[in-house]
Amino acid sequence: MTSILFLFIFYGKMIKMRKKFFLYLLYLIILLVLASCGLYSYVSLNPPSRFYSAGLNFLELHHDLNNNDGSDQEFLGYEIFYRAYSDFNNAKRDNDLLVTANRNYLGNPDGFINYAKNLGFIRLRRKTNESTDNPPLLLITDVSPEVYYIELNTSGDWIISPTNFSDTSDDIELVRSIIPDYLTRRSFSLVANYHQGDADYEGESSPTTVSFVFFATAFGKDTASFSSIYSEGTVIDTPIQYNPSN
């Protein structure tokens, strides 16, 4: 009788162990399926190590030298997003929302990017004669410098310089992301270019002062799914006040 009871208990334990084994196996299968569908992935890209206001009308972006490719990810460079406001208080409102969201979406960079886009943030563009400009804004290679200087000119195009402003050979001219008027009103430096209702701007037309909110993120491609991937963001913690020319 004791032997039969022992066998019964042993058989019951074996059934429980098998159930746990199959549950673990099912969990692993689900993770593999999600990963293969691009719904679950580990993002190995790092945001810029520093991105900040370096003085009147100057920003600095520091390349994170630890930006290594993941097994299925290719780091390409950095993107800078912005939004302009005629009212500093409105800019501060969205700046604070962005800083908070960046913390709340820790580990979910796509969620943060989508949140920022829903607030109206748009990527900075290179100056071209085309309505599209493929990312990234800053293309990084093995020989790229560590520091980039962004000059918010008030009498000409904004410029990113990968060296310093005495050497203009590698300068990148920047323009607004507005369509369809990207050829006629793309310069940041003219008061008359800011119109109420512009996609990248909140406020009245022709403001005397514009406040900008900026954040930067690393950009790459998932070589398995061919989808764009971002790092977490680096947000400049206060709006930048800027005076365009008449």
Average pLDDT over residues 200-213: 97
Answer yes or no: is 45 within a domain. no
How many Å separate Cα 114 from the centre of its chain?
9
pLDDT band at 114 (very low <50, low <70, confident <90, very high): very high
**Beta strands at 122-123 and 240-242: parallel, antiparallel or unpaired:** unpaired
The verdict on 30 and 133 lying in the same domain is no
Q: Which domain does 26 fall in, by range?
A: 1-40
The b-or-e profile of 23-58 (16+ CB within 10 A means b, else e) is: eeeeeeeeeeeeeeeeeebebbbbbbeebbbeeebe
Orientation angle between helical segments 88-104 and 109-118, nearest 10 degrees: 160
pLDDT band at 117 (very low <50, low <70, confident <90, very high): very high
The verdict on 74 and 131 lying in the same domain is yes
- pLDDT score, position 38: 44
Tell whether the model's pLDDT for residue 10 goes beyond 50.
no
Q: Is 57 left (phi over 0), alpha (psi -120 to 50) or beta?
A: left
The verdict on 123 and 221 lying in the same domain is yes
* Identity of residue 91: A
- pLDDT score, position 132: 65
Tell whether the model's pLDDT for residue 175 goes beyond 80.
yes
The verdict on 30 and 100 lying in the same domain is no
Tell whether the model's pLDDT for residue 106 goes beyond 80.
yes
Q: Higher confidence at residue 12 or residue 181?
A: 181
- Name the phi and psi angles at 91, rounded to 5: -65, -45
**Beta strands at 172-175 and 125-126: parallel, antiparallel or unpaired:** antiparallel
What residues contact residue 183 under an 8 Å CB cut-off, 6+ apart?
129
Can you read off the two tokens belonging to residue 187? 């310069």
Domain tally, the chain: 2
Average pLDDT over residues 114-137: 88
**Full-prediction pTM beyond 0.85?**
no
The verdict on 90 and 165 lying in the same domain is yes
- pLDDT score, position 34: 44
CA torsion sign for 97, 56, 233, 80 is positive
pLDDT band at 142 (very low <50, low <70, confident <90, very high): confident
pLDDT band at 128 (very low <50, low <70, confident <90, very high): confident
Answer yes or no: is 226 within a domain. yes
Answer yes or no: is 159 within a domain. yes
The verdict on 146 and 178 lying in the same domain is yes
- pLDDT score, position 33: 46
Question: Residues 40-98: pLDDT tens digits?
Answer: 445 579 999 999 999 889 999 999 988 865 555 689 999 999 999 999 999 999 999 99
Mean pLDDT of the chain: 83
- Asked which of 5-19, 50-64, 112-126, 173-187 is least confident by mean pLDDT, the reply is 5-19
Average pLDDT over residues 122-144: 84
Answer yes or no: is 172 within a domain. yes
- pLDDT score, position 40: 43
pLDDT band at 32 (very low <50, low <70, confident <90, very high): very low
The verdict on 196 and 105 lying in the same domain is yes
